[in-house]
Amino acid sequence: MQLGTILKADAVKSIASCTSKKRLFHDLGELAEASYDLNAVDVIDALIDREGLGPTGVGQGIALPHARMTSANGVFGLFLRLEKPLDFDAVDRQPVDLVFALIAPEDAGVDHLKALALVSRTLRDKSICTKLRANSDAGTLHTILTELEASQAA
């Protein structure tokens, strides 16, 4: 599995301001609807329900919200770069500015876990995070997220 297979270029955005975690989930829902034709309200509800089990802020300014949905027909990624970091109840209590959300089918099983591990591994790379934080252009952000695997495949 590669990020380029689960993250469409139009599922990447830079947002100037986000006032709350709930607003962030609304932004992700709208992005999922526009990019993957998923129902925005269903995505928002699924992300909120999952977040209720425990915060998905993993530290270092990174959040990995994820959810399973019966209406999803594949594993889909959404990436938001926040210009103004947002309190996300992260494990290190630091605000979040890089958000990579995953939506997977209810029966995704190991594919959902593989995607989550891949995203986590990618965002643990400090040089990638530095590049993501230094750029606001959506196309550039998508390239940064997918270039490492492309160069490894060559």
- Using CB atoms within 10 Å of the CB of residue 135, give its burial: 0 to 12 exposed, 13 to 18 middle, 19+ buried: middle
User: pLDDT digits over 92-128, tens only?
Assistant: 899 999 999 999 998 877 887 888 889 999 999 999 9
What's the domain count of the chain?
1
Would you please indicate which residues are annotated as catalytic (active-site) residues? Answer: 66
Which distant-in-sequence residues (6+ apart) come within 8 Å of 129 by Cβ? 60, 61, 62, 98, 123
DSSP β-bridge partners for residue 62: 59, 98
pTM: 0.92
The answer to whether the Cα torsion of 111, 136, 47, 29 is positive or negative is negative
Segment 131-139 shows an average pLDDT of 95
Give 46: exposed, middle or buried? Use CB within 10 Å, 0-12, 13-18, 19+: buried
DSSP 4: H
Once rounded to an integer, what is the mean pLDDT over residues 12-38?
93
Is the pLDDT reported for residue 29 higher than 90?
A: yes
Residue type, position 92, single letter: D
CATH code for the domain of 75: 3.40.930.10
152: pLDDT strictly greater than 80? no
Cα–Cα distances (Å) from 136 to 38, 74, 133, in that order, read 25, 27, 8
Domain that holds residue 53: 3-153
